[in-house]
């Protein structure tokens, strides 16, 4: 790796404040990924009325657990775990502020070695976490261990590469050469991340097979039914929240591969050449500038569909 690539490191470890800002941990953006009438339907399909103890793995600032909570029995209790203390503090603060402290508790833990007895939970769930772990199969085995027989694992995990294609098909004028270059950049960076043990950013579509290999049954696969719509003059609340996050990424030069230094690091790790990187990155910058300009001028429009899978499976009942 060249020097610049070497110097960069994982932002959630070394700069939690930047990660908090870019991951949308502040505010409600991550809660807007879901329609509650859809989750109500999913709660019936998943029989969430049977659930009393929930583990929210890699809970971050607690958004996913809080999103599911209204669809669980009022008596259900949720434990959120994360490896980064700063995120857990945010989750705790929000739970306090929303009067949920009696139902939601948070503690530090590594996904690969959970500090819970076997069969502790009826539901073990995560959102955008398996895309980050070094070994998703190992993490799934640990999730299964702490699940009671008959209990449910739900993973909400994206295919980020497909999501970028949807993004590039919005109204910003992106030439075929730009699309190819931006997808290539992301593919190589994703490969680098995988090789560095930093997760498979587009794991969503591979999860059903991993669930099968983990010995889960009754495997089901859905997608979020939520598409972010951005139509001038961006007057509704959700559009404004979405634009504040997406605009922040573009101003900060944070692409789907991370910031410049982090992207270079994973690009090189994925087999890309450091010499080729600046030209690819200049296309990212040009795209970000065009997006910001088009939004400012009220020209940008698009439906930002996410391929955000909901994969679930049950631990076989004892004796089954
Ligand atoms: C993109 S965030 C998702 C947060 C939350 N699940 C949500 O949907 O808002 C990924 C989270 O997983 C956590 N994480 C990643 N790898 C982990 C591991 N091995 N053990 C525990 N937490 C982990 C990160 O610290 C981060 O908070």
pLDDT tier at 6, thresholds 50, 70, 90: very low
Mutating to test ligand 1, I would choose from 57, 108, 129 the residue with most ligand atoms within 8 A of its C-beta, which is: 129
By the 8 A CB rule, do 104 and 78 touch?
yes
What's the gap in Å between 12 CA and the centre of ligand 1? 9
Q: Can you give the pLDDT at residue 2?
A: 41
Q: Is residue 14 part of a domain?
A: no
110 and 135 in a common domain: yes
CB-based contact 122:52 (threshold 8 Å): yes
Give the domain extent around 295. 1-9+160-198+232-300
Cα separation, 54 vs 18, in Å, equals 29
The Cα–Cα gap between 251 and 253 comes to: 5
**DSSP assignment of 27-65, as one string?**
SSGGGGG--HHHHHHHHHHHTGGG--EEEEET-TTSHHH
Same domain, 154 and 173: no
Same domain, 173 and 217: no
How remote is the CA of residue 218 from the centroid of ligand 1, in Å?
26
Query: Cα(107) to centroid of ligand 1, in Å?
Result: 13
Lookup: tokens for 204: 């969503």
Instruction: Give 245-270 as a 3 state SS string.
Output: HHHHHHHHCCECCECHHHHHHHHHHC
Q: What pTM was computed for the model?
A: 0.94
Residues 142 and 240 in one domain: no
Tokens of 31: 């809660």
> 150 and 120 in one domain?
yes
Strand partners, 124: 55, 153
Q: pLDDT for 29-39, tens place per residue?
A: 998 999 999 99
Cis peptide before 165 (omega within 30 of 0): no
Asked if residue 26 belongs to a domain, the reply is: no
CA torsion angle 81 198 181 163 (round to 10): -30
Ligand 1 pocket test: pick from 14, 66, 132 the residue with the most ligand atoms within 8 Å of its Cβ: 132
21-69 residue pLDDT tens: 888 898 889 989 999 999 999 999 999 999 999 999 999 999 999 999 9
Assess contact for 104 and 69: CB atoms under 8 A.
yes
Ramachandran assignment for 288, one of left (phi > 0), alpha (psi -120 to 50 degrees), beta (any other): alpha
Within 6 A (CB) of ligand 1 lie: 12, 23, 30, 58-60, 63-64, 82-84, 87, 110-112, 126-129, 132-133
Is 19 domain-assigned?
no
Contact 76, 152 (CB under 8 A): no
- Length of the chain equals 320
In this predicted structure, the answer to whether residue 3 has a pLDDT above a threshold of 50 is no
Q: Are residues 164 and 243 in the same domain?
A: yes
- The rounded Å distance from CA 131 to ligand 1 centre is 9
For 121-132, what is the mean pLDDT? 98
| 128 CA → ligand 1 middle, Å | 7
């Amino acid at each position: 790796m060249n020097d610049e690539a070497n110097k960069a490191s994982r932002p959630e470890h070394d700069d939690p404040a930047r990660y908090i800002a870019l991951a949308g941990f502040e505010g409600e953006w991550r809660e807007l990924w879901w329609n509650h009438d859809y989750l109500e339907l999913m709660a019936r399909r998943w029989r969430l009325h049977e659930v009393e103890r929930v583990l929210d793995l890699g809970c971050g600032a607690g958004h996913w657990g809080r999103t599911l909570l209204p669809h669980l029995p009022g008596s259900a209790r949720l434990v959120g775990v994360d490896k980064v203390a700063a995120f857990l503090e945010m989750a705790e603060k929000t739970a306090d502020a929303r009067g949920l402290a009696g139902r939601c508790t948070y503690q530090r833990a590594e996904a690969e070695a959970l500090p819970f007895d076997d069969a502790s939970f009826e539901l073990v769930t995560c959102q955008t976490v398996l895309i980050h772990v070094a070994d998703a199969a190992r993490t799934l085995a640990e999730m299964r261990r702490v699940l009671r027989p008959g209990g449910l694992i739900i993973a909400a995990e994206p295919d980020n590469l497909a999501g970028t294609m949807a993004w590039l098909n919005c109204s910003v004028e992106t030439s075929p050469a730009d699309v190819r270059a931006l997808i290539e950049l992301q593919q190589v960076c994703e490969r680098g991340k995988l090789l560095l043990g930093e997760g498979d950013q587009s794991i969503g579509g591979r999860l059903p097979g991993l669930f099968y290999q983990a010995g889960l049954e009754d495997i089901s696969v859905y997608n979020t039914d939520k598409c972010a719509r951005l139509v001038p003059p961006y007057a509704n609340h959700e559009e404004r929240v979405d634009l504040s996050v997406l605009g922040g990424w573009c101003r900060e030069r944070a692409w789907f591969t991370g910031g410049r230094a982090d992207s270079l690091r994973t690009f090189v790790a994925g087999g890309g050449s450091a010499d080729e990187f600046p030209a690819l990155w200049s296309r990212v910058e040009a795209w970000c500038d065009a997006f910001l300009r088009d939004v400012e001028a009220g020209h940008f429009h698009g439906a930002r569909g996410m391929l955000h899978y909901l994969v679930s499976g049950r631990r076989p009942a004892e004796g089954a």
